[in-house]
Structure formats: C-alpha cells, structure tokens
Amino acid sequence: MFKVGTYLPEKVLLNANLEYLGWSAKKIFVKTGISQRHVTIDDETALDLAYHACEDLFSKYEIDKKEVDYILYCTQSPDYNLPNNVSILHKRLNLSNNIPSLEFNQGCSGYVYGLSLAKAFISASLATKVLLVTADTYTKYIDYEDRANKTIFGDGATATLLTKNEIDKFGEFIFGTDGNGSCNLCVNNSGLSKTKLTEDGFEDRLFMNGSEIFNFTLETVPASVEKVLEKNNIKFEEIDYFLFHQANNFMLEHLREKLNIPKEKFPKFIETTGNTVSSTIPFLINDLNEKQILKKGDKLLLIGFGVGYSWGTTIIEY
C-alpha cells in the first residue's frame, strides 16, 4: 500500500487555450495524449503545491504529522536558492522540530531516487516515517511561444508516506546517469550560468531537444527494464503493472510497443495533468489507489527517466 497525497493548482490550461501556438486542440491531444494541464499563477510556487499535497496526504489517511521523522523534498523549481525549501516546508507543515530534512535536485527520475533514499534512511534506522514530497512548476520556465513544452508540461505536487511496511517490499534499484545529454533538457540562463537580464528578469527558459530525448529514452528505458527484472530475479510476465514516468503519450506508446507491454498492464495518468516531472509516478499511483485497481501483492515496476540524463527503476510489491 502506498499512501499518496496530491495537489494540482487550480488554474487549468485547455488545449483550446493553446491553439494560438498553431495546432488545433485536437491535434495537440493526438500528439501528446494531453487534453489539459494545471498551471500555477504568478504568486503560487512549487512550495505552495507541496504544502497542499502534504495536507492532502495527512487528512486523507488520518496521519499524525508529528510522527513524520524525516522529510525529503525533490524539486527543480525552488522558491529561493537558499535557504533550501525543505526547511520552509518543514516550518509551514509544523512538523516536529529537530527532524532531519533533505532537499534534492532531480527531475523525471526524482521519485525513484526518493524511494531509494527513504529505503536507505529507514533501513539504517535513521527514520521510521519518511515524508517524500515532489513538486515542480516547469511551466514557469516555459516561453509563451514554445509549443513543444507548453503543450506537454503541467505543474503539480505529491506527498508519499513511507514506513518500514513499504520499504520492506522494495526490490533492488537501478540508477543511471549520462551527463552528456545534460544540454538536451535544460533551463538556460539559470543558476551560475545566468547572464542575460532583461526587463522581465533572467531569460531562464526551458530548452528541450525533443528528438534527442526521444532517442535517449528509446535506447535507455527498455535496457533498464530488462536489467531491473534481471537484478530482482523477476520475469517480465510476473509484473502486474508497469508504472512509467508519464512523459507524453507518444513516448509512452513507443516504449510500450517496443517492450511489448500489454495495454492493461500499462496504466497512464497524463491526460488531465500533462507531464508533471518528478510527480508523474506518484500521481499515477494515487489514481490507481482511488480507482482501487492495485491489490496487495501486486508487483509494480517503476521507472523514471529524463532530465540529466538521469534514470532510475525498481520493482516493488504493493
């Protein structure tokens, strides 16, 4: 069982709202599998979304937040460069004082990284109840005229509570990194690399080389799926559900076909949210929770892949 809370900003951007980019609403849907995405308004940040996702988790599952003894926060959309945002989240949630907290920067592979960190912390008895939070607002980095990114990405946040019960059912993890692809998905003019200032601030705009990312994914993901099955000594057929990072429908379908995964074992959750980066997998799990699809003992293969390039995969028993 995975206890997941989620939050989407209220503002919705329909495909019809994006027709100014030159594609009809229908064409956008056909190309991406996305019919709408939630986007933050100006004074709403990833940290706000993260806060609401945690509150959703606590209220939905009647969790006493004072029992949380480690907070992990994955974001690439910080409120401030310093202090780290997890300290602020710690305060806003009014969690127990003096618990350790950690903020890490990862994108589409971030949730899987978070699970492995939680496993490491719980198995080393540093923590018993880890709150793993993912939140990003890529839409703030996307240029008004950028059709490819504007149609794909949405904002959102999730919060997952992990205890010994869950991590005992985590299998082995596989991670990978290829920094040679770092410039293919990047926010230029940000961090120390920022140089160009305009009246509207730094031109910190998301750049994505879609075809390079596509090639990388088709090469890396199937090989990693094979490796993680082998490492966990589990057969392909034994996997009940393949929970992939929800990049876009086009990519997902290519991967599904290449790997010969039956449709019923390949749930998706992208149509109403778009690609929410590190939050796509927990959004998907939350959706399956709500539909009561997952059963105790189901074997789930999780894989996140993208910006970095970075990828991570594991097999868990629900």
Of 13, 28, 50, 127, the one binding other proteins (CB under 8 A) is 127
Q: Among 121, 107, 102, which Cα is nearest to 170's?
A: 121
The total of other beta-carbon atoms located within 10 Å of residue 8's CB is: 23
133 closest CA partner among 213, 200, 230, 49: 49
- By CB under 8 A, what part of segment 132-151 binds other proteins? 137, 140-141
Alpha carbon distance 52, 179 (integer Å): 33
105-113, 211-219, 236-244, 257-265 -> range binding other proteins (CB under 8 A): 105-113
Query: Among this protein's residues, is 108 annotated catalytic?
Result: yes
Q: Which of 69, 158, 244, 304 touches other proteins (CB under 8 A)?
A: 69
Q: Is 158 in the site for other proteins (CB under 8 A)?
A: no
Exactly one of 14, 16, 67, 123 binds other proteins (CB under 8 A); which one? 123
Nearer to other proteins, 137 or 275 (CB): 137
**What are 117's two structure tokens?**
């960190």
Decide whether 229 or 288 has the Cβ nearer to other proteins. Answer: 229
- In the set 274, 282, 304, 308, which binds other proteins (CB under 8 A)? 308
Min dist CB 68 to other proteins, Å, is: 11
Contacts to other proteins from residues 170-199, by CB under 8 A: 172, 174-182, 185-188, 190-193, 197, 199
Q: Which of 101, 100, 11 is nearest to 48 (CA)?
A: 11
41 near other proteins, judged by CB under 8 A: no
Catalytic site residue from 54, 74, 184, 245: 245
Which positions ≥6 away from 136 have C-beta within 8 Å?
A: 46, 75, 76, 77, 107, 155, 156, 157, 276, 277, 278, 279
Amino acid at 256: R
Selected catalytic residue, list 84, 248, 275, 286: 275
Name which of 192 and 291 has its Cβ closer to other proteins.
Answer: 192
* The one segment of 98-106, 144-152, 256-264, 294-302 that binds other proteins by CB under 8 A: 98-106
Near other proteins by CB under 8 A, which window of 15-23, 42-50, 211-219, 248-256? 42-50
The answer to whether residue 275 is catalytic is yes
Q: How far apart are CA 133 and CA 290, in angstroms?
A: 19
Q: What distance lies between CA 58 and its chain's CA centroid? A: 20
Amino acid at 144: Y
